[in-house]
Amino acid sequence: MRQSINLSWLDSMAFETEINGKKLIIDADKEVGGTDRGPRPKPLMLVALAGCTAMDVISILKKMRVSPDTFNVKVEGDLTEEHPKHFEKMHIIYEFKGKNLPEDKIEKAINLSQERYCGVSYNYRNAFEISFEIKILED
């Protein structure tokens, strides 16, 4: 299957695209000549990973009849200092809040995402290290 996007230059460092029918402007920091009208490109790599695995996990948990009160996925990425500034590792923190959440099912859902379903994790893992941790908090 093929996916494609088109990015159009607006002015200075600002560009506009449409993803699944939604407009998105990306832009650079003011310090490097941008006008800060939208996010920078690299954090979108973090969001792609967080979103991919988060959607897997919540849909697997739904099938397991596990419903957390809150669910957050944080991704931290470490960039090199030298050009080309690229990620050399990413760490995912899955955080759940709820009453009597079943740790074993949550772990299973995350492992299924990381090992079988999440294509973004699969792609990134071929380029750098990905680690994760799970936090389960009582409401």
* Binders in 77-116 for a second copy, by CB under 8 A: 77-81, 83-87, 116
Whichever of 20 and 100 has its CB closer to a second copy, that residue is 20
Cβ contact 9:25 at 8 Å: no
Task: Supply the DSSP string of 17-85, one letter for each residue.
Answer: EEETTEEEEE---GGGT---SS--HHHHHHHHHHHHHHHHHHHHHHHTT---SEEEEEEEEEEPSSSS-
Range 26-55, binding a second copy (CB under 8 A): 26, 28, 32-33, 36, 38-52, 54-55
Contact between 136 and a second copy by CB under 8 A: the answer reads no
Q: Which stretch binds a second copy (CB under 8 A): 11-19, 103-111, 131-139?
A: 11-19
Cβ contact 93:73 at 8 Å: yes
CB atoms within 10 A of CB 139: 10
Whichever of 81 and 104 has its CB closer to a second copy, that residue is 81
Tell me the closest approach of the beta carbon of residue 73 to a second copy, in angstroms.
5
Candidate list 60, 101, 110, 124; residue touching a second copy; CB under 8 A: 124
Tell me the closest approach of the beta carbon of residue 81 to a second copy, in angstroms.
7
Whichever of 16 and 102 has its CB closer to a second copy, that residue is 16
Peptide bond connecting 43 to the previous residue in cis, omega within 30 degrees of 0: no
Pairing status of strand 87-98 against strand 70-79: antiparallel
Tell me the closest approach of the beta carbon of residue 49 to a second copy, in angstroms.
8
30: tokens are: 């003011």
